[in-house]
Structure 1
Amino acid sequence: MKRFWSPGLGRTILFSLAVVSFVIGTYETVSRIDDKNALRDNYWLFMVSFSCVMLYRYLKPEPEPKAPAKQPPQAPAKPVPRNKRRS
């Protein structure tokens, strides 16, 4: 089945929704500065923003495993001579 959009588009929409809901919630809260319940009334906007950010982070694509780098063949090391005791 062909995908309607690329996988990155869904994450972009989630992030955009998170930013927009946070900005609207902040604006509504600050604009009603005299109302003591302004934050409580706009709490749902902040929770939508928080939920979108959490879902955005959860849908983060897994990094592809990197293949180990091949090391060039090395010549065999020379044997290290042992020091002999002198009498």
Structure 2
Amino acid sequence: MSERSPAVEPPVWHLYLLETAAGALYTGITTDVDRRLAEHAAGRGAKALRLEAEIKRLSPRAKRAWLARRALSAASSAGG
């Protein structure tokens, strides 16, 4: 007679919403809410949140240059 392995519980997934300092909403999903929030707080969260923190550190002149590059990139990918 063979022994049965104990049943393994499937992970429980949690959907979460964060509001950035700029007021944007970020939606994420995780199996460990405490770990994920700690990652966000440490700057290891989503790229969108890291980008916001990176942009905040730029000077006004650098922010304008960043925006100009984004506008050029969007225009070229739209074929205009």
Q: With structure 2 as the length reference, what TM-score do the two structures score? A: 0.26
Compare CA radii of gyration and give the structure with the larger one.
1
- Larger relative contact order (C-alpha < 8 A, sep ≥ 6)? 1
Of Structure 1 and Structure 2, which has the larger fraction of its residues in helix?
1
